[in-house]
Structure 1
């Protein structure tokens, strides 16, 4: 049914509805305070220019359902705790924990959330629970590291009294 709706929409309308991004961290971050945004500075995809790699914020352009996923990496005998925030309100957490080891080991924690957003709301990943947290970068030779992605699932824009799905 959703694909049927897409074929009936003009191309320009479909393009307006496409919002998606994938970003990652290409360098280690140290001394992050509680509620400090984690800025995933490298962008693989940024359809609709909704993600700002300078501040780590996704800004909602149209009302709808969105899905976000994120992963944080740890390699320093510590616990990294991060959260997905919508306008500063915690939605879900993720933990990467190597604090109980006596050697340096890699750990990655992540989560996924589907949230309803309205235009203008901001979504970001923030460190919390521990002051002086470090988050580790994405390795070039393995699928390990810190990532942040999001996309629109369904908009609330009405077109001839029909809900638009993308």
Structure 2
């Protein structure tokens, strides 16, 4: 039996309760395949609210190239559109949304992430530190307004490893949030 999920195939059908867009994410670090469930398959009506706020509970050290940053502690998830296991937001209704990424480096390290919509770049956040900073924590924030269609996915990931010491601060110092501005 293979313990490596790099070539795993998962077949889901109507009998499995799949009713719409699902977030599926293979975490290569812990070899788990995360599949969203809950209200992701149910399209919200135009007058319902959507908002979420999640943060990192622990720092991420040795951030790998294109590694997803999964903000694991959820404070708010109105509309259940954010998945804390995959780190993906799935639009439950067509509309204009705004996303905020607040990113802090681990002191003496640097980190650069991109924000993606369906795999395409929509934003970037960088917190550059250096060994000479002597414990200085650098925090950067970006606001990203974007039009989404029902089922579109938005997530944060490392762009690629610029330096061998890219690390993201945890303990509520890095967060991902967003909300629906208007639906159509």
Q: TM-score, normalised by structure 2?
A: 0.70
* CA pair 13-91 structure 1, distance change in 2 beyond 3 A: closer
Report what 2:80 is aligned to. 49
Where relative contact order (Cα < 8 A, 6+ residues apart) is larger, the structure is 1
Alpha carbons of structure 1 residues 89 and 105: separation in structure 2 relative to 1, 3 Å: same
Please tell me whether the aligned partners of residues 83 and 92 of structure 1 are also in contact (alpha carbons under 8 angstroms). Answer: yes
Corresponding residue for 1:159? Answer: none
Match among 27, 31, 40 for residue 62 of structure 2: 31
Tell me which residue corresponds to 1:148.
176
SS of the aligned residue for 1:101 comes to helix
Larger CA deviation: 70-79 vs 111-120: 70-79
**Matched residue pairs, number?**
139
Instruction: Give 1:79's aligned residue.
Output: 110
RMSD: 1.9
How far does residue 100 in structure 1 lie from its aligned partner after superposition? Answer: 6.0
CA distance in 2 between partners of 1:66 and 1:97 (Å)? 28
Q: Distance in 1 between matches of 2:95 and 2:45?
A: 15
8 Å contact from structure 2 (residues 45, 93) kept in 1 = no
CA distance in 2, matches of 1:118, 1:74: 32
Q: 1:125 aligns with which of 156, 159, 183?
A: 156
Please identify which structure carries the higher strand content: 1
Give structure 1 stretches of 5+ with no counterpart. Answer: 1-11, 140-144, 157-166
Cα–Cα, structure 1 residues 13 and 120, in superposed 2: closer, same or farther, change >3 Å?
Answer: closer
Q: Per-residue deviation at 1:102?
A: 4.6
Q: Deviations over 1:84-123 (max 9, x none)?
A: 1111111111111112625221111120011000011110
Is the contact between residue 63 and residue 119 of structure 1 (CA under 8 Å) also seen in structure 2?
Answer: yes
The 3 A distance-change label for structure 1 pair 64 and 13 is: closer
Contact kept? 2:59, 2:106, Cα under 8 Å = no
2:62, 2:48 → 1: CA distance?
Answer: 38
Residues 23 and 40, structure 1, Cα contact 8 Å, conserved in 2: yes
How far apart are 1:138 and its partner, in Å?
2.8
Which contiguous aligned blocks of 4+ residues in structure 1 show a shift greater than 3 angstroms? none
